[in-house]
Amino acid sequence: MHPLAQKDLNYVWHPFTQMQDWAKEEPIVIKSGKGAVLKDQHNRSYLDANASIWTNLHGHRHPAIDKVIQNQLKKIAHSSALGFANEPASLLAEQLVKTANRPALFKDAGSGYKNPKLGKVFFSDDGSTALEVALKLAYEHARRSGKGHRPKFLSIDHAYHGDTIGAVSVGQVDLFHKSFSGLLFSSDKAMSPYCYRCPFNKAKPERADARDYRKCNWECVGKVGQHFEAGQKKKTNYAGFVFEPVVQGVAGMVGQPEGWLKRVATLARQAEVPLIADEVMTGFGRTGSIFASHQEGIQPDFLCLAKGLTGGYLPMAATLTTQAVYENFLGPYDSFKSFFHGHSYTGNQLGASAALASLGLLKKTGSAPGRRKLQQHLKQSLAPLWKSPFVGDIRQSGLVAGIELVEDWRTRKPWPIQKQVGIQICREMAALGVLTRPIGNVIVLMPPYCCSETQVHKMTRALTRAIEKVLGSAHI
């Protein structure tokens, strides 16, 4: 056992991990990284196939991001945003607002409702805190706008918005959230568009030889609409509709059919319910455009960003909102209308510098076409996996892919979670030099944007071999 691995076993408690199992083998200790490649304590190389839990955009040790962090370090690493402004945070806030307010969005989203403009940025540290900020702001904004004493939130099934208490309260993953139910505030849950397991059986499986396709009538949109109608009748109305646009990550990389978001957002706007877009995973080009909501022509009232904000370098988050929300918190000092919320490292200079450099790289000519090309490589490379009887669904939105493994593709029967099929497959992939983490029976591939075609093929080849090894002959 390498001494660093031993120290980890002795002292570290890992997130979302059964530590009894963790202690059974020598953990992989990441010691360095370059581009899409990570190196461990024994100098073994791995591809970072989930972009270090969905954070890394341009690869590790990118010279442009390294340089700005080094330059910033020569000035200062951190000073408080409580009482003082700082250079990179101000510049970043301006860039985020400009990036979010693409002019094309403001004609209208095709829904008859004018999209709002985002004008203010509230910084925090992680995805969960970006959501906490949005929830608190939306709650107080709703109360101050006469929406009742305790307005509620609506979110969708299988939603994951983080681990802090507010974020968990609007999350809908029973496995993670049930045991904390006593700590949570109540929120409403609407149906999610999980086409592969659509209860109306009207989804179109992507599999070419599928025969059970019937026309979808957007029943799932109607189900969301029922909540807005009920909310209006009770005259309580919602403080916000919280959603992950285009693809729900922790749900199992469940992509929404094109048009779903536009439709539900229109219903929300008709009911005067603010939109809270959780772009913690989808933000910064993952699904195509810089922000996923914009792919559906939607500008939310609250835009929550984290993970890729700093290119995957440093913990930093941002919640963008409108001038109208901001003004609801203005008043004389003794009206105590201030937003009483904030963290010690809010607006951290190193994080903000990294974020500015990362945004710069994203906006470079060639960045978007490069991502589109990589997306095509990923799609082509995954295609042969459809032949496996254990592959139920391959879902891809931009550079996010989820491969759902089942006992039999015809029945779509899920593997019992106790079998740890996803965990076993990821372990085999690691032995083949590819690191990722499963979500139950779903294997995630989320390559950093710097990946080559060869590296993408190595990822899918490792997945194919791992399926064969763990589940038997896969006929691929």
Ligand X SMILES: Cc1ncc(COP(=O)(O)O)c(C=O)c1O
Q: Which of residues 405-424 bind ligand X (CB under 6 A)?
A: none
How far is it, in rounded angstroms, from Cα 194 to Cα 250? 13
Query: Residue 161 interacts with ligand X (CB under 6 A)?
Result: yes
- Pick the piece of the chain touching ligand X (CB under 6 A) from 85-93, 110-118, 155-163, 356-364: 155-163
195 near ligand X (CB under 6 A):
no
Cβ atoms of 34 and 59 within 8 Å: the answer is yes
**Residue among 48, 126, 140, 393 that touches ligand X (CB under 6 A):** 126
Give how far the C-alpha of residue 31 lies from the chain's centroid of Cα atoms, to the nearest Å: 26
| Cβ proximity of 82 and 342 under 8 Å | yes
For the chain, report the end-to-end CA distance as a whole number of angstroms: 37
Chain mean position to CA 203: 24
Q: Which of residues 363-402 bind ligand X (CB under 6 A)?
A: none
Task: Round to whole Å and give the CA distance between 366 and 241.
Answer: 35
AA letter at 295: Q
**Tokens 């064969």 sit on residue:** 468
Q: Which residues of 281-303 are buried (b: 16+ CB within 10 A; e: fewer)?
A: bbbbbbbbbbbbbbbbbbbbbbb
Q: State the residue number with the nearest CB to ligand X.
A: 127
Q: Could you say whether residue 127 binds ligand X (CB under 6 A)?
A: yes
> Contact region for ligand X (CB under 6 A) — 31-39, 41-49, 123-131, 229-237?
123-131
Cβ closer to ligand X: 140 or 244? 244
Q: How many helices, marked H, and strands, marked E, lie in the chain?
A: 16, 17
Query: Measured from the CB atom, is 282 or 455 closer to ligand X?
Result: 282
Residue span binding ligand X (CB under 6 A) among the ranges 94-102, 154-162, 202-210, 345-353: 154-162
- Of residues 294 and 458, the one with the C-beta less far from ligand X: 294
Q: How far is the CB of 6 from ligand X (least distance, A)?
A: 27
Q: Which is nearer to ligand X, 69 or 281 (CB)?
A: 281
What gap in Å lies between CA 398 and CA 426, rounded to an integer?
Answer: 22
Site string for ligand X, 273-312 (x = CB under 6 A): -----x-xx------------------------xx-----
b (16+ CB within 10 A) / e for 5-25? beebeeeeeeeeeeeeeeeee
Measured from the CB atom, the residue of 158 and 223 that comes closer to ligand X is: 158
Instruction: Please say which residue, 315 or 414, places its beta carbon nearer to ligand X.
Output: 315
Q: Is 199 exposed, middle or buried (0-12, 13-18, 19+ CB in 10 A)?
A: exposed
Nearer to ligand X, 27 or 127 (CB): 127
Among 59, 205, 240, 249, binds ligand X (CB under 6 A): 249
Nearer to ligand X, 247 or 391 (CB): 247
User: Which of 130, 456 has the CB closer to ligand X?
Assistant: 130
Instruction: State the nearest-atom distance from the C-beta of 252 to ligand X, in Å.
Output: 12
- List, in order, residues 6 or more apart from 392 with CB less than 8 Å away: 196, 404, 405, 406, 409, 412
Please name which of 29, 99, 37, 52 lies closest in space to residue 307, comparing C-alpha atoms: 52
In 316-373, DSSP assigns E strands to 317-322
User: Shortest distance, CB of residue 345 to ligand X, whole angstroms?
Assistant: 14
- Is 136 strand, coil or helix? helix
Shortest Å, Cβ 308 to ligand X: 11
Residue 158 in the binding site for ligand X (CB under 6 A): no
Per-residue mark of binding to ligand X, 82-121 (x: CB under 6 A)? ----------------------------------------
Question: Element (H or E) spanning 357, and its range?
Answer: helix 349-363
Interface with ligand X, residue 50, by CB under 6 A: no
For the chain, the residue count is 476
State which residue, 128 or 287, has the beta carbon closest to ligand X.
128
68 DSSP 8-state letter? H
Q: Is 244 in the site for ligand X (CB under 6 A)?
A: yes
DSSP three-state, residue 394: strand
Selected binder of ligand X within 116, 162, 166, 245 (CB under 6 A): 162
Ranges within 325-354 binding ligand X (CB under 6 A):
none
Chain positions 200 to 229 lying near ligand X, rule: CB under 6 A, are none
* Distance of closest approach, residue 327 Cβ to ligand X, in angstroms: 27
Q: Which is nearer to ligand X, 244 or 407 (CB)?
A: 244
Residue 156 phi/psi, 5-degree rounding, is -115, 160
Q: Work out whether 250 is an interface residue with ligand X (CB under 6 A).
A: yes
Which residues, other chains included, contact 207 with Cβ-Cβ below 8 Å and sequence gap of 6+?
386, 409
User: In the complex, which residues of this chain contact ligand X (CB under 6 A)?
Assistant: 126-128, 131, 160-162, 244, 249-250, 278, 280-281, 306-307
